[in-house]
């Protein structure tokens, strides 16, 4: 249970914030990982934070606690604290800055070679201040951001005052492709904001490779001491064991040992992410439906196109 803290004894703007970023491709279990990490003391799971200014706040979408985000006591406090000294319209302006600086479609910017372009300082300042507001409001030392986008990871790594650690989460590309082939209709209270799914397997194979390679690049920028790879399948096999190195990386291990067995995961205030966050307490299970349900021809398409990378991650 997160207690909302409304008063701050000291100005946190000067202090660094520890951010654990979950990067990789979609349908890889990032929301479950975010929720699992948040079961440990001192760790706050923010969900896909990059979507807060883009559509979650403007559309007043649902928080994992079941409230709409503007009615959620935690997020309304965070946003009030974050924007209290900012002019009206800042949320909207910040949303545009996030779209601009975190666009995967701009490869030079994603690779960080276009440098200090106009607007970046404003983007960096507001991003750092948002994390600070989360830290002060929740009292948690580590903030998990499971936005996934590798370009957001690269941008966060360039912001002074953010101590970024990167968890590169991956899942078997064939399972991801099967998940993307299935369709989900819009269901706002279930956390589905727009129709999703129906993607051809080969399209997913290409995107799965590109996003994982970009996440590897982001990890090389963050550095070996501050990045770690995790296969979602290894997490479902041994949830606590798989997260121990991750918690150790963000120096949360000592305070968290024996804190939870992760037998049941309680949703917190993940502000965006998979619809699984809206389903109440969660039991982790091995999701391998694709092994029996995915059409053979689609599985072979993914294996032919992405085989080298499936082998790289020990799936073949």
72 binds Zn ion (CB under 5 A): yes
Which range touches Zn ion (CB under 5 A), out of 66-74, 78-86, 117-125, 144-152?
Answer: 66-74
Residues 5-44 binding Zn ion (CB under 5 A) are: none
Q: Which is nearer to Zn ion, 5 or 100 (CB)?
A: 5
- Shortest reach from residue 54's CB to Zn ion, in Å: 18
Q: Which C-beta is closer to Zn ion: that of 97 or that of 278? A: 278
Minimum CB distance to Zn ion smaller for 49 or for 65: 65
Of the two residues 65 and 272, which places its CB atom closer to Zn ion in the complex? 65
Sheet containing 162-170, strands listed edge to edge, beginning at the edge strand earlier in sequence: 43-45, 142-148, 17-23, 162-170, 227-231
- How many C-beta atoms surround the C-beta of residue 17 within 10 A? 23
CB of 72 to Zn ion, least distance (A): 3
- Interface with Zn ion, residue 65, by CB under 5 A: yes
From 81, 174, 231, 269, residue interacting with Zn ion (rule: CB under 5 A): 269
Name the 3-class secondary structure at 249.
Answer: helix
The smaller minimum CB distance to Zn ion, of residues 73 and 112, is found at 73
Q: To 10 degrees, the CA torsion angle through 110, 116, 121, 124?
A: 30
By CB under 5 A, residue 63 contacts Zn ion: yes
C-alpha neighbours within 13 Å on the C-beta side of residue 194: 5
**Minimum CB–partner distance for residue 315 and Zn ion (Å):** 35
By CB under 5 A, the count of residues binding Zn ion is: 4
Listed ranges 2-10, 64-72, 110-118, 164-172: which one lies at the site for Zn ion (CB under 5 A): 64-72
By the criterion CB under 5 A, which residues form the site for Zn ion? 63, 65, 72, 269
């Amino acid at each position: 249970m997160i207690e909302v803290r409304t008063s701050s004894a000291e100005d946190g703007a000067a202090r660094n914030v520890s951010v654990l970023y979950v990067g990789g491709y979609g349908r890889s279990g990032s929301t479950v990982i975010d929720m699992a990490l948040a079961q440990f003391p001192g760790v706050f799971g923010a969900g896909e934070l990059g979507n807060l200014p883009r559509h979650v706040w403007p559309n007043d979408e649902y928080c994992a606690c079941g409230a709409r985000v503007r009615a959620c006591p935690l997020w309304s406090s965070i946003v009030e604290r974050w924007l209290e000294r900012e002019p009206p319209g800042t949320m909207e302006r910040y949303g545009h800055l996030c779209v601009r600086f975190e666009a995967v479609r701009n490869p030079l910017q994603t690779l960080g070679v276009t440098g200090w372009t106009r607007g970046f300082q404003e983007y960096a300042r507001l991003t750092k201040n948002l994390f600070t507001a989360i830290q002060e409001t929740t009292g948690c030392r580590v903030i998990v951001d499971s936005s996934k986008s590798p370009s957001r990871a690269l941008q966060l790594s360039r912001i002074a005052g953010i101590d970024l650690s990167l968890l590169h989460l991956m899942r078997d590309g064939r399972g991801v492709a099967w998940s993307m082939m299935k369709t989900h209709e819009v269901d706002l209270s279930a956390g589905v904001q727009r129709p999703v799914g129906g993607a051809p397997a080969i399209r997913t194979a290409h995107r799965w490779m590109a996003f994982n390679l970009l996440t590897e690049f982001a990890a090389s920028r963050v550095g070996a001491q501050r990045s770690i790879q995790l296969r979602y399948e290894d997490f479902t096999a041994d949830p606590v064991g798989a997260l121990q190195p991750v918690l150790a990386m963000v120096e949360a291990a000592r305070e968290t040992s024996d804190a939870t067995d992760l037998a049941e995961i309680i949703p917190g205030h993940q502000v965006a992410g998979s619809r699984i966050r809206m389903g109440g307490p969660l039991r982790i299970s091995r999701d391998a439906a694709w092994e029996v349900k995915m059409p053979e021809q689609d599985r072979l398409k993914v294996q032919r196109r992405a085989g080298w990378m499936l082998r790289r991650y020990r799936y073949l």
